[in-house]
Amino acid sequence: MNMLIFLLLPLIVAFIAPLLKPKSATYLSSIAFLLPFLAIIGCLFNSCPPKIHLMTFSPPIGEFYLHFDMISHAFGLTICIVSAMIALYALPYMTHRFGEMELNVESEFRKYIFLFDLYAASMLWLVYSGNFVLLYVFLEITLITAFLLIYTYGYGNRKWVGILYFLWCAAAGVLTLAGIVILAFENNTLALDVLLAGGTVGMIAWAFIFFGMIIELPVLGPHIWLPWAHAEAPTPVSALLSPLTVGLAGYVLLRIALIDYSFIEAYRMPILCYAIFSSIYGGFSVFKQTDFKRLLAYSTVSQMGYVLVALCLGPFGFIGLVIQYMSHAFGKSILFSCAGGIIAVHHGLRDLTKMGGLHDSIPQISNAAVLGFLNLGGMLTIGMLGEFFILRGAVETFLKPESPAFITWEGGLALIIALIFMFILSVWYGFYTIKKVFYGKPKDTKRLEISGYLYVPLYIIAIVSVLLLFPPLSTALIQGLNAIPGLGLAGGVLP
CA distance 391 to 404: 17
Cβ proximity to other proteins, 121 vs 276, nearer residue: 121
CB of 64 to other proteins, least distance (A): 7
CB of 147 to other proteins, least distance (A): 9
- Please choose, from the candidates 79, 86, 90, the residue with its C-alpha nearest in 3D space to the C-alpha of residue 37: 79
Instruction: Residue 491: count other Cβ atoms within 10 Å of its Cβ.
Output: 8
Cβ proximity to other proteins, 184 vs 462, nearer residue: 184
Cβ proximity to other proteins, 168 vs 330, nearer residue: 168
CB of 69 to other proteins, least distance (A): 23
CB of 145 to other proteins, least distance (A): 11
State the Cα angle at 226 between 160 and 176, rounded to 5°.
100
CA distance 247 to 235: 18
The footprint of other proteins (CB under 8 A) covers 55-58, 60, 64, 133, 136-137, 140-141, 143-144, 148, 159, 163, 166-167, 170-171, 174-175, 177-178, 181-182, 184-185, 204, 208
Cβ proximity to other proteins, 143 vs 296, nearer residue: 143
Cβ proximity to other proteins, 93 vs 208, nearer residue: 208
Cβ proximity to other proteins, 1 vs 55, nearer residue: 55
Find all residues with CB under 8 Å of 13, minimum gap 6, and list them.
28, 29, 32, 117, 121
Cβ proximity to other proteins, 11 vs 48, nearer residue: 11
Cis peptide before 218 (omega within 30 of 0): yes
Cβ proximity to other proteins, 31 vs 204, nearer residue: 204
CB of 208 to other proteins, least distance (A): 8
CB of 204 to other proteins, least distance (A): 6
CB of 167 to other proteins, least distance (A): 6
Largest interatomic CA distance in the chain: 66
Instruction: Residue 356: count other Cβ atoms within 10 Å of its Cβ.
Output: 17
CB of 136 to other proteins, least distance (A): 6
CB of 126 to other proteins, least distance (A): 12
Cβ proximity to other proteins, 175 vs 322, nearer residue: 175
Is the separation of the CB atoms in 196 and 170 below 8 Å?
no
CB of 133 to other proteins, least distance (A): 7
CB of 125 to other proteins, least distance (A): 12
CB of 181 to other proteins, least distance (A): 4
Cβ proximity to other proteins, 177 vs 458, nearer residue: 177
Cβ proximity to other proteins, 207 vs 280, nearer residue: 207
CA distance 419 to 290: 27
Cβ proximity to other proteins, 57 vs 277, nearer residue: 57
